[in-house]
């Protein structure tokens, strides 16, 4: 999120501005960073909702009330219900620390190391109804070194992610991404 805020502040032609940083819990650093950057913040607490559908509806309502036209996920580790895709079709971006479709889920870096792959990377994709799925927008390879720890590999992945994600968000803001039959064209 910080990389996005920095790039939006730096690039006068970015084409988008953050209207809300939303979290599912209080006390996360992203809320403080957003507030420091002058961006509105809101918490939609998972514990306040009976199920995923009511939580998802509350998240969507908050985003729409803030005037959000697209959703950019960064470190949001809750699985939202299908209503979010219905309300923001092909307008929800997610980043994942692996080359999808490999190593879906919350432990992608650990699984890449366990599998002994020589490369992994970053995937930026549109969100659909499945977890770590959806049309792939961009991917970039990150090498896996023989003595990598999970933490070291994750740090290298994040360096690449912090460069790639703002480029993708800017492309979305400028209408340069189109989805046709599950494939993304970047114009």
Q: pLDDT (tens digit, 9 = 90+) per residue, 160-177? A: 999 999 999 999 999 999
Long-range contacts formed by 147-154: CB under 8 A, 24+ apart: 148/113, 150/109, 150/110, 150/113, 153/109, 153/112, 153/113, 153/120, 154/97, 154/109
pLDDT of 15 higher than 90: yes
3-state helix, strand, coil in the chain (%, to 5): 40, 20, 40
pLDDT of 141 higher than 90: yes
Q: How far apart are CA 104 and CA 118, in angstroms?
A: 17
Per-residue confidence band for 94, with pLDDT thresholds at 50, 70 and 90: very high
For 163, other C-beta atoms within 10 Å of its C-beta total: 13
Alpha carbon 14 to chain centroid, angstroms: 17
Q: Which of 96, 125, 162, 183 is catalytic?
A: 96
Token pair for residue 7?
């790039």
For 73, other C-beta atoms within 10 Å of its C-beta total: 17
pLDDT of 158 higher than 90: yes
Residue 64: its pLDDT value, please?
97
183 is catalytic: no
pLDDT of 21 higher than 90: yes
Give the pLDDT mean for 87-112: 97
Residue 76: its pLDDT value, please?
86
For 4, other C-beta atoms within 10 Å of its C-beta total: 19
**Adjacent-strand bridge partners of 122:** 140
CATH number of this structure's domain 2-174, picked from the four choices 3.40.630.30, 3.40.50.170, 1.10.630.10, 3.40.50.2000: 3.40.50.170
Cβ distance 148 to 116 under 8 Å? no
Q: How far apart are CA 53 and CA 77, in angstroms?
A: 16
For Cα atoms 53, 57, 60, give the angle at the middle one, nearest 5 degrees. 135
Q: What is the pLDDT of residues 116-138, one digit of tens each?
A: 999 999 999 999 999 999 999 99
Cβ distance 132 to 97 under 8 Å? no
pLDDT of 13 higher than 90: yes
Scanning the chain, the segments in alpha helix (DSSP H) are: 2-10, 29-36, 52-65, 83-87, 108-115, 150-173
Residue 77: its pLDDT value, please?
83
Q: What is the pLDDT of residues 34-92, one digit of tens each?
A: 999 999 999 999 999 999 999 999 999 999 999 999 999 988 888 999 999 999 999 99
Question: What residue spans define the domains of the chain?
Answer: 2-174
């Amino acid at each position: 999120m910080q990389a996005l805020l920095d790039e939006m502040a730096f690039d006068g032609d970015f084409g988008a501005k953050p209207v809300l940083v939303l979290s599912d819990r209080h006390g996360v650093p992203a809320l403080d960073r957003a507030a420091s950057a002058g961006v509105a913040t809101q918490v939609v607490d998972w514990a306040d909702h009976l199920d995923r559908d009511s939580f998802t509806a509350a998240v969507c309502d908050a985003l729409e009330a803030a005037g959000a036209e697209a959703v950019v996920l960064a470190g949001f580790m809750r699985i939202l219900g299908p209503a979010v895709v219905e309300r923001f079709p092909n307008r929800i971006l997610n980043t994942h620390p692996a080359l999808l479709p490999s190593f879906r889920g919350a432990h992608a870096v650990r699984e890449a190391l366990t599998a002994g792959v020589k490369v992994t990377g970053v995937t930026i994709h549109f969100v659909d109804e499945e977890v770590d799925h959806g049309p792939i927008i961009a991917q970039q390879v990150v090498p896996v070194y023989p003595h990598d720890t999970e933490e070291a590999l994750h740090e290298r992945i994040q360096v690449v992610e912090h460069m790639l994600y703002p480029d993708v968000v800017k492309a979305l803001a400028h209408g340069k991404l189109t989805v046709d039959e599950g494939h993304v064209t970047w114009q």
